[in-house]
């Protein structure tokens, strides 16, 4: 495995360090008035992403991010069986998903990098030879844009997302409880005890899942955890449409992050499964010390034909984007 590390910069002094292992974002440093502030959790170095077990810090998850119920799906009349790496279910492409691969670096400049990976037919149980391309671009408005592009030689499924864990107080801050969050969605896809969506939409109004107005992330977290037995938030929100998807603001530092996308959903995950067993950058990562906002097709959509489809057909590329804009 050839491992490389690259740094993107803009004219304001914002810096993003990435590795080709899983396209992981190792550092995302903001030039605040109090000095450089790294707002993503992660490991010490690129080599660690290849050798250490970790909870998907900063990586691109795929072929299919999130969960596929019972690790099976049907496509064109054929049933495919995947690895069961999350109880009876399939999670984030399996134990050898895209996060474990050394992607090829096709282009790199001061503010842009392009990664490519060929996933052969049958890899992790998926059909079709899939060519994936991930482009990270950092502009002078302090926005990191991620472009996802996938093509296949035969019908398959694909759902790519970035799995960065953010703490806008700094990666080493012990909690995210003070963060104020807003999500531009009126519904979630409710889940069963295995965190698999039931196939329904549930209005968030009047529930613990309502972030239609900005509120502290901790305000209703215990209620949400009790409802879904998740230890916090781990839910897919049905976005109103392309454009602005969510925002988070940390009063302590004044840092605001706004997420935009053309994907139909976004997963709010509050680091419920961080157990203190993983460390990096000189700290140990405990429960609720970071949060994720993963833009995506809805979890298990391949088994929900009435939902937006993550099926990729020969001759028709699948394309999506996500933007993380930072103000400080």
Domain residue spans in the chain? 5-327
Burial class (CB in 10 A: 0-12, 13-18, 19+), 2: exposed
What is the predicted pLDDT for the residue at 165? 98
Mean pLDDT across the chain: 97
Structure tokens at 88: 């009876």
262-295 pLDDT, tens digit each: 999 999 999 999 999 999 999 999 999 999 999 9
Q: Which of 82-91, 118-127, 156-165, 222-231 has the lowest mean pLDDT?
A: 222-231
Local confidence band at 229 (pLDDT 50, 70, 90 cut-offs): confident
Active site residues: 163, 294
Res. 206 pLDDT band, cuts 50 70 90: very high
Q: What is the CATH number of domain 5-327?
A: 2.70.98.10
User: 3-state class of 18 per DSSP?
Assistant: strand
Rounded to 5°, the CA angle 195-160-40 comes to 85
Q: What is the largest CA-CA distance in the chain?
A: 58
Global pTM value: 0.98
């Amino acid at each position: 495995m050839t491992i490389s590390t690259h740094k993107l910069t803009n004219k304001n002094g914002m810096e993003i360090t990435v590795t080709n292992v899983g396209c992981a974002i190792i550092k995302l440093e903001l030039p605040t008035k109090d000095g450089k502030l790294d707002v993503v959790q992660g490991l010490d170095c690129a080599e660690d992403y290849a050798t250490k077990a970790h909870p998907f810090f900063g990586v691109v998850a795929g072929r299919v991010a999130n969960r596929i119920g019972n690790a099976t799906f049907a496509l064109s009349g054929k049933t495919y069986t995947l690895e069961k790496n999350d109880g009876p279910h399939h999670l984030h492409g399996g134990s050898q998903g895209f996060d474990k691969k050394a992607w090829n670096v096709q282009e790199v400049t001061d503010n842009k990098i392009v990664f490519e990976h060929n996933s052969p037919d049958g890899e992790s149980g998926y059909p079709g030879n899939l060519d994936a391309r991930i482009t990270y671009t950092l502009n002078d408005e302090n926005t990191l844009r991620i472009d996802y592009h996938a093509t296949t030689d035969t019908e398959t499924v694909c759902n790519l997302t970035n799995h960065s864990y953010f703490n806008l107080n700094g990666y080493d801050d012990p909690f995210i409880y003070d963060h104020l969050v807003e999500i531009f969605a009126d519904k979630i896809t409710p889940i069963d005890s295995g965190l698999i969506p039931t196939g329904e939409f549930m209005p968030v109004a009047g529930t613990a899942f309502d972030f239609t107005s900005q509120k502290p992330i901790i305000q209703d977290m215990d209620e949400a955890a009790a409802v879904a037995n998740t230890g916090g938030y781990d839910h897919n929100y049905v976005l109103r449409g392309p454009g602005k998807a969510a925002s988070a603001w940390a009063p302590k530092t004044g840092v605001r992050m706004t997420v935009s996308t053309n994907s139909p959903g976004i997963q709010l995950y509050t680091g419920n499964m961080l157990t203190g067993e993983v460390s990096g950058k000189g700290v140990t990562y405990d429960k609720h010390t970071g949060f994720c906002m993963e833009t995506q097709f809805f979890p298990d959509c391949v088994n929900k034909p009435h939902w937006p489809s993550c099926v990729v057909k020969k001759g028709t590329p699948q394309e999506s984007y996500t933007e993380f804009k930072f103000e400080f």
